[in-house]
Amino acid sequence: MVNITTTSNGATAIQPTGMVGGRHYTIPQLEAMARELRRDILQSIHSAGSGHPGGSFSELEILMSLYFRFLRHNPAQPQWAERDRFILSKGHASSGLYAVLAKAGYFPREELATFRKLNSRIQGHAHPMTPGVEMNSGSLGMGLSFALGCALAAQVDHKEHLVYALLGDGECEEGEVWEAAMAASHHKATNLIAFVDRNRIQNDRFTDQVMTLEPLAQKWRAFGWRVMETDGHDFHRLLPAIQRARENRIRPTVIIAHTVKGKGVSFMQNNPAFHGRALNAQELETAMQELA
């Protein structure tokens, strides 16, 4: 299932299985799946009457790349101790994660319709009561620290698994992100790979209007991280970037993924209005046609 090799500089690299349920997805298949999962996301949020579609769309290809190409995981055994961890820090964008987890087989796709409803295990913000979710969320800034804890625990237990975390760009305004960034390089968390979903929009407005984040890559570099930048939607760029991040790990790595909020639907793209609201019936119909 998993090939563990030692690279020329002595760092351990775990080769991707490229398989989920025994199936290898090609890039065209992943692209088709992305449209399918975007439809699932919109349907689920529409059914709930609220949710966060914009960020669920901007993060989607990152999550798909992990769950369908790189993560060492077993949907039938979510608590498998040797699994790679994925920590969704921007937990409001839970719908993107739920769509991916359902597709991967963690729970039935039909449960997406129970999102935000009474007696459901599909919570408004991601919570571990959902099979496959590692961390409770909804208060920004905590996920990188939590992921660091998972990474250091793996090291002290001499385990080889990797820990991935996904942060929002607006989330990087939280001070705790930089506490964690400083600590991760100090404690040599080389088994930690973070993503910043750089969609340039946060809750109220564009990030530039709320708080200047740039030069973001320099900030991470100054905190002792290896920094990579990539397009966050094009699998032809994203998959090789993640593969490179998994190799030659002598420092914690952050991938700044340049993304588009609301990616894939014309009227949602780059529109702050769709950070945190459901589509109405007419918008949904238009969006579903565009995503067909």
Partner 1 sequence: MVTKRANASTRETYGRTLLEIAQEFPDIVVLGGDLNVSTFTHLWRDQHPDRFYDFGPAEQNLIAVGAGMAASGKIPFVSTFSVFGVGRPFDQLRVLVSQSRLNLKLVCTHAGILTGEDGMSAHGIEDLSLACALPSFTVVSPSDSVETAQVIRTVAATNGPFYVRLSRAATPVIHDASYRFKLGVAERVKDGNDVTIIATGVMVSVSLDAAELLAGQGINARVLNVHTLKPVDQQAIIAAARDTGAIVTAEEHYIHGGLGSIVAQVIGQHCPAPLEMVALQGYAESAPAGELMVKYGLTPQRVAEAAQRAVKRKDNT
What residues make contact with partner 1 under the rule CB under 8 A? 81, 85, 87, 127-128, 134-139, 141-142, 145-154, 156-157, 175-176, 179-180, 182-183, 187
- Side-chain-side CA neighbours of 252 within 13 Å: the count stands at 30
Q: What is the phi/psi pair of residue 194, to 5°?
A: -110, 150
Q: Which is nearer to partner 1, 145 or 230 (CB)?
A: 145
Q: Which is nearer to partner 1, 150 or 227 (CB)?
A: 150
Least distance from C-beta 183 to partner 1, angstroms? 5
The alpha carbon of 163 is separated from its chain's Cα centroid by a whole number of angstroms, namely 12
Least distance from C-beta 120 to partner 1, angstroms? 16
Least distance from C-beta 32 to partner 1, angstroms? 34
Strand order in the sheet with 253-258: 85-88, 163-168, 192-198, 253-258, 226-231
Q: Which is nearer to partner 1, 55 or 91 (CB)?
A: 91
3-state secondary structure of 207: helix
Q: Which is nearer to partner 1, 141 or 272 (CB)?
A: 141
Structure-block tokens of residue 2: 């998993």
Q: Which is nearer to partner 1, 150 or 238 (CB)?
A: 150
Note the residue count of the chain.
Answer: 292
DSSP state of 23: B
Least distance from C-beta 72 to partner 1, angstroms? 15
Least distance from C-beta 225 to partner 1, angstroms? 15
Question: With contact defined as beta carbons under 8 Å apart, do 53 and 95 qualify?
Answer: yes
Q: Which is nearer to partner 1, 61 or 134 (CB)?
A: 134
Rounded Cα–Cα distance for residues 201 and 269 (Å): 11
DSSP state of 84: P
Quick one: the chain helix, strand, coil %, rounded to 5?
45, 15, 45
Least distance from C-beta 141 to partner 1, angstroms? 7
Single-letter code of the amino acid located at 52: H
Question: With contact defined as beta carbons under 8 Å apart, do 119 and 157 qualify?
Answer: no
Least distance from C-beta 127 to partner 1, angstroms? 7
